[in-house]
Amino acid sequence: MKTITMIYLICLITFSAFADGVSLDYLEGYLELQNGAAWDELYIGDEILSDAVLRLSDNGYAELLIDDAVVTLINDGNYSMSELISDVSTVNTSSFDLKKKLTLNSDYEKWQQEAIMGVRGAKQTMDLNNGMEDAYTYLNAGLELLAKEEFGEALVNFEEGWEFFEDDNCLFFSAVCYEALGQKRNYVKNLMDVSGEYLDVEFIAAYTIRKGDLLIKSLSYEDAVSLLEDFVGNSYESTEAESQKIRFLLGKGYFGMDNSVGAKKELQAARDMNPSTDVGKLAAETLENL
């Protein structure tokens, strides 16, 4: 798996200054504060000075609150708070609420339809040559449970489909379940392990939206734009809502690369697709701030 340094940013205002302190809002693993030659363990709710040095370990995941920003640390290692604050302060466009606006958490109806009709229609839940279960047995069972928002049971099926058959569709939906269950560290790990080239075509849009969003939040704009441009260039199937999200993300990626012409073009396209949606309104707001 490619190693990507993840510092995911949710920035709700333009930052011109920061408070002297930062607080630890969420933690999986260990986060420690350098204290001379020693390291002191931090706990949720602890305040952290802006000149502190932190160490994340045990495959950790941490969310730090800086004013109205949430900075998420993914990779184990040392972090300078002053550098994190500097990175956040460079983000001066309106952002989005990932859970509410740019994930597919509300699109279970589509997945339920996939489960009822069978993935891609031609796929069987049994291998007709030998009567054995195949990956689609687990995928379809998981999709049915996901449509009912039974995330824990769905996760069991998706994980077995990945374990037994290394099916990337199952790996992707296991990430979706982890996100819904609030297990953020596992969500990011599984999502980044998915090989998009092995996904069934009807799931590529959902995958592209989630991964593109993560890459933008990590300030990996070129990687995000490459992923999103590949989707648009190949004309993969997508709903209008998915297409709108992808164009919005592409606009944000272009802006991060200082391509203001490309950013405006994509954001205008996202807005014009449906100005009344959350994404359409956010695209319009972002255009006003360019």
pTM: 0.73
168 pairs with which residues across the strands? none
Task: Verify that 196 and 247 share a domain, yes or no.
Answer: yes
**Closest CA relative to residue 215, chosen from 203, 227, 204:** 227
Domain boundary among 89, 110, 133: 89
pLDDT digits (tens, 9 = 90+) for 43-63: 999 999 988 999 999 988 888
Q: Are residues 144 and 227 in the same domain?
A: yes
What is the distance, to the nearest Å, from the Cα of residue 103 to the centroid of all Cα atoms in its chain?
8
Among residues 89, 121, 143, the one where a domain terminates is 89
Do 146 and 178 lie in a common domain? yes
- 188 close to 74: Cβ distance less than 8 angstroms: yes
In a domain, residue 16? The reply is: yes
User: In 50-77, which positions are buried (b, 16+ CB within 10 angstroms) versus exposed (e)?
Assistant: eebebbbeeebbbbbbbeebbbbbbeee
Whether residues 74 and 125 fall in one domain: no
Q: 245 and 108 in one domain?
A: yes
Q: What is the pLDDT of residue 65?
A: 83
Q: Name the residue among 286, 288, 224, 239 with its Cα closest to residue 91.
A: 286
pLDDT digit string, tens, across residues 198-245: 999 999 999 999 999 877 776 678 999 999 999 999 888 899 999 999
Q: Which two tokens stand for residue 34?
A: 């350098």
Residue 237, strand partner residues: none
Which pLDDT band, with edges at 50, 70 and 90, does 21 fall under?
Answer: low
Same domain, 53 and 179: no
Whether 1 is in a domain gets the answer no
pLDDT digits (tens, 9 = 90+) for 157-204: 999 999 999 999 999 999 999 999 999 889 989 999 999 999 999 999
Q: What is the mean pLDDT of the chain?
A: 79
173 plus 237 within the same structural domain: yes
Structure tokens, 16: 């011109």
The answer to whether residue 172 is domain-embedded is yes
CATH number for the domain that contains residue 229: 1.25.40.10
Residue 110 pLDDT class (50, 70, 90 cuts):
low
Among candidate residues 61, 89, 117, the one where a domain is terminated: 89
Residue 154 lies inside a defined structural domain of this protein? yes
Q: State whether residue 226 is helix, strand or coil.
A: helix
- The number of domains in the chain is 2
Tokens 């920061």, residue? Answer: 18
Instruction: Provide the domain limits for residue 234.
Output: 98-289
Whose structure tokens read 């049994």?
Answer: 126
User: Could you tell me if 176 and 202 lie in one domain?
Assistant: yes
On whether residue 225 sits in a domain, the answer given is yes
**C-alpha dihedral sign at 78, 83, 85, 89:** negative
Instruction: Give yes or no: residues 278 and 134 share one domain.
Output: yes
Q: How far apart are CA 230 and CA 251, in angstroms?
A: 14
In a domain, 144, yes or no: yes
- For residue 88, the model assigns a pLDDT of 58
Considering the domain boundaries, does residue 2 fall inside one? Answer: no
Alpha carbon separation from 164 to 118, 132, 136, 271 (Å, rounded): 20, 12, 11, 43
If we measure between CA atoms, which residue out of 194, 153, 192, 158 comes closest to residue 173? Answer: 158
Q: Which tokens hold the place of 264?
A: 């405006």
pLDDT in tens, 250-276: 998 898 888 999 999 999 999 999 999
Which residue do the tokens 């990945």 mark?
Answer: 162
Residues contacting residue 143 through CB under 8 Å, at least 6 positions apart: 111, 112, 114, 115, 119, 154, 173
Per-residue pLDDT, averaged over 113-142, amounts to 60
